[in-house]
Amino acid sequence: MGIGSRYQTVLEDVASQARFCGRAPEDVCLVAVSKTVGLEGVASALEAGAKDFGENRPDQLVEKASAFPSARWHFIGNIQSRRIPDIVSAAFLIHSLYQESHALKIDEAARALGKVQDVLIEVNVSGEESKSGVSPHEALAFARLCAGLENVRVRGLMTMAPQGDAETARACFEGLRDLANAIRAALPAEKAAVFSELSMGMSEDWHEAISSGATIVRIGRAIFSDNFEDEDTAC
Ligand SMILES: *Cc1c(COP(=O)(O)O)cnc(C)c1O
């Protein structure tokens, strides 16, 4: 199977998992994480109907977004301060915001470009040291701070589950969902109305993410790797 048919298979599987959980397929956005492939790989997924792509490096984000401007480009990687103008110039949605200084710079860069930048706040739900993000108890204060910036629109939360079993992933995703509900209840109505996205779930754990309320799943290897299934059984 090539990239195009794997994309279509994943898209169908995502839709059936949504239906299985009593949700509408269109309520879950599939972001194809193309960080391991070049422009040709992106082109194959685009031809198969992909509209949303995720990148974790600013250079790749900018290059691919300018080659394929009709797609929506999501930035899912570590934010470096000096790359913020580039990221803002190309990103439809930034998933990985968790530092105040970055929020201020994103606001400034977006204002300079005459845009309002959609962002998600990354939360370290599991508390693992290797993971980035604000801690759950800091998330509301940080969301309030970001929501106060004129050229930033806070659309929701993002997390990465610890590697391991499905139950651990599910607990992490349910934690993010509950936190998002609490934040939404505490924000002013106008900010709460757009705070609707939960970006969670990757190749290994997107089934659990959808059943826990994910509105965006970020899937890389299951689409772009020739041997994702083999990798899976090898461990
Ligand atoms: C690479 C990456 C993904 C995709 O992971 P896969 O396991 O390849 O599906 C999702 N989210 C983030 C933040 C990533 O860096």
| Closest alpha carbon to 10 in 224, 223, 225, 228 | 223
Instruction: Report which DSSP code applies to 92.
Output: S
Closest Cα to residue 52, out of 218, 233, 185?
A: 218
The tokens of 120 are what? 């998600």
Is residue 89 situated within a structural domain? yes
Q: Is the dihedral of CA 146, 150, 151, 156 positive or negative?
A: positive
Q: pLDDT for 83-140, tens place per residue?
A: 999 999 999 999 999 999 999 999 999 999 999 999 999 999 999 999 999 999 999 9
Q: Which of 66, 76, 90, 83 is nearest to 29 (CA)?
A: 76
User: Is any atom of ligand 1 closer than 6 Å to the C-beta of 202?
Assistant: yes
Q: State residue 235's pLDDT score.
A: 44
Residue 141 domain-assigned? yes
**What would the mean pLDDT of 65-90 be, rounded to a whole number?**
98
Residue 42 maps to a domain: yes
Instruction: Report the domain count for the chain.
Output: 1
In a domain? residue 233:
no
Please write the tens of the pLDDT for every residue from 167-206.
999 999 999 999 999 999 999 999 999 999 999 999 999 9
Ligand 1 binding pocket mutation candidate from 13, 76, 132 (most atoms within 8 A of CB): 76
Q: Is the residue at 85 inside a domain? A: yes
**What CATH number is given to the structural domain containing 180?**
3.20.20.10
Q: Residue 230 pLDDT more than 70?
A: no
Q: Which domain holds residue 79?
A: 3-224
Is residue 232 situated within a structural domain? no
Model confidence pLDDT, tens digit, residues 35-53: 999 999 999 999 999 999 9
